[in-house]
């Protein structure tokens, strides 16, 4: 009887170690859960939303990414507006990327915003970064709640090396799940 207890215990320990190794590998190399803090991504994400970030996705324009903030020890979540080679300008709340107009349905006025006619102030990439194009190995990011977002307009480009990954899934506190648009 003692032999079967030891055998069963060894089997459980082996299973737990194997499961722990799988979780560790997934967390380090595939995906990571994180929590949204603040209002900079309203209405897409609310404060304290939980998201799953893929570490293996290719980042493209308008993807939602999590990255290490260049001017703080925090992690930020923002939307990629410009990828390497892009020329960006905002004129009267209209986004131009490489001369083409892009609709931004996610950038909306939020109740409680200061009274202003604009969602985003006018700018060109050259005015705020000193460069005409997004350089290789970098991204230009903006928050969806432009009036309350600390983003590339303030700290410049995000290095590819600072990117943790792309947001793939939003998980609400009570396990309600939705996929961001």
In whole numbers, what is the pLDDT of the chain averaged over residues?
A: 86
Length in residues, the chain: 181
pLDDT higher at 40 or 65: 65
Mean pLDDT of 46-55: 89
pLDDT higher at 157 or 18: 157
The catalytic position among 40, 55, 57, 159 is 40
pLDDT per position as a tens digit, 83-103: 999 999 999 989 999 999 999
- Residue 86, token pair as written in the block: 């892009």
User: What is the per-residue pLDDT for 116?
Assistant: 66
User: What is the per-residue pLDDT for 175?
Assistant: 47
The catalytic position among 78, 100, 152, 181 is 78
Please, where are the H alpha helices in the chain? 2-29, 125-129, 152-155
Does pTM surpass 0.85? Answer: no
H or E segment at 159? strand 158-159
Residue 162 DSSP symbol: G
Q: How confident is the model at residue 66 (pLDDT cuts 50, 70, 90)?
A: very high
Q: How confident is the model at residue 164 (pLDDT cuts 50, 70, 90)?
A: very high
Lowest-confidence pick of 31-35, 55-59, 92-96: 31-35
How many Å apart are CA 147 and CA 25, to the nearest integer?
A: 39
pLDDT higher at 77 or 19: 77
Lowest-confidence pick of 33-37, 134-138, 169-173: 169-173
Annotation says 78 is catalytic? yes
CA dist 108 → 17, 66, 95 (Å): 48, 21, 13
Helices and strands: H and E segment counts in the chain:
3, 12
- Main-chain phi, psi angles of 56, to 5 degrees: -115, 5
DSSP track, 74-104: SEEEEEEEE-TT--EEEETTEEEETTEEE--
CA dist 92 → 21, 95, 96, 150, 159 (Å): 52, 8, 11, 20, 28
């Amino acid at each position: 009887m003692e032999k079967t207890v030891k055998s069963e215990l060894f089997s459980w320990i082996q299973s737990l170690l194997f499961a722990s190794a799988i979780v560790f590998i997934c967390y380090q190399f595939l995906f990571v859960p994180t929590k949204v803090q603040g209002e900079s991504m309203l209405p897409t994400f609310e404060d304290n939303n939980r998201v799953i970030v893929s570490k293996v996705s290719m980042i493209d324009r308008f993807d939602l990414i999590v990255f290490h903030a260049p001017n703080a020890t925090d992690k930020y979540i923002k939307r990629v507006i410009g990828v390497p080679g892009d020329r960006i300008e905002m004129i009267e709340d209209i986004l131009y990327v490489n001369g083409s107009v892009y609709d931004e349905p996610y950038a909306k006025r939020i109740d409680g915003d200061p009274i202003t006619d604009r969602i985003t102030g006018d700018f060109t990439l050259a005015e705020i970064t000193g460069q005409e194009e997004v350089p290789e190995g970098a991204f230009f990011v903006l928050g969806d709640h432009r009036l309350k977002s600390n983003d590339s307009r303030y700290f410049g480009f995000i290095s590819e090396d600072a990117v943790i990954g792309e947001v793939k899934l939003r998980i609400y506190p009570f396990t309600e799940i939705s996929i961001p648009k």
